[in-house]
Amino acid sequence: MKHQRLILATRNAGKITELRAILAAADLDIELVGADAYPDVPDVKETGVTFAENALLKAHALAQATGHPAVADDSGLCVDVLGGAPGIFSARWAGRHGDDQANLDLLLAQLSDIADEHRAAHFACAAALALPDGTERVVEGKLEGTLRHTPAGTGGFGYDPILQPEGETRTCAELTADEKNAISHRGKAFRALAPVVRELLG
């Protein structure tokens, strides 16, 4: 089947570019479009309690609304000493959705007296593929690291300025986009999704 259309549940152009490149590298001839291509489809409330549940909610809603296979992802920062928090609440940890600076400041304040050896954390991403017939698959990716005491770097977004990946001396915000994509939780999840797309969409 040529030119199967696949919809990615995002209005973030960077995510679309990233997944498009991964599908192309996997030699999949698929037309990938973002949610912007369907402006009438409402955003889905993320009521799940795991990254996988939220990703599936978004993917199924988009597949049902458009009649095309859909991919959605949900991701966040999981801090060991906080029992995995902020987790699914990463984007609204300080109370307002998407206030990166407030989220960062609050998390650093909560961890201010935590010693370096107890500052392990990871970024997690679940990517879900849903077909209009209800078929679903979820894959996950992780980026392990430790949390710095002060932010460093101007790249990326969210908690990137404080997570230093394992084996790195720089934070995620100090890596180039290509360096980050090569090791990121989302990059890993999207790459794991490519064979699933091949299997289900041919």
Cβ–Cβ under 8 Å, residues 181 and 161: no
Q: Nearest-CA neighbor of 180 among 37, 188, 196?
A: 188
Q: Is 99 a catalytic residue?
A: no
Q: Nearest-CA neighbor of 196 among 140, 139, 141, 142?
A: 139
Q: How far apart are CA 123 and CA 131, in angstroms?
A: 27
112 DSSP 8-state letter: T
Q: Is 75 helix (H, G, I), strand (E, B) or coil?
A: strand
Q: How far apart are CA 23 and CA 202, in angstroms?
A: 12
Sign of CA pseudo-dihedral 75, 15, 119, 142: positive
**39-45: long-range contacts at Cβ-Cβ below 8 A with a sequence spacing of 24 or more?**
41/65, 41/66, 44/9
Bond before 39 cis per omega within 30 degrees? no
113 DSSP 8-state letter: T
Which of 36, 40, 74, 113 is labelled catalytic? Answer: 74
Active-site positions read 74
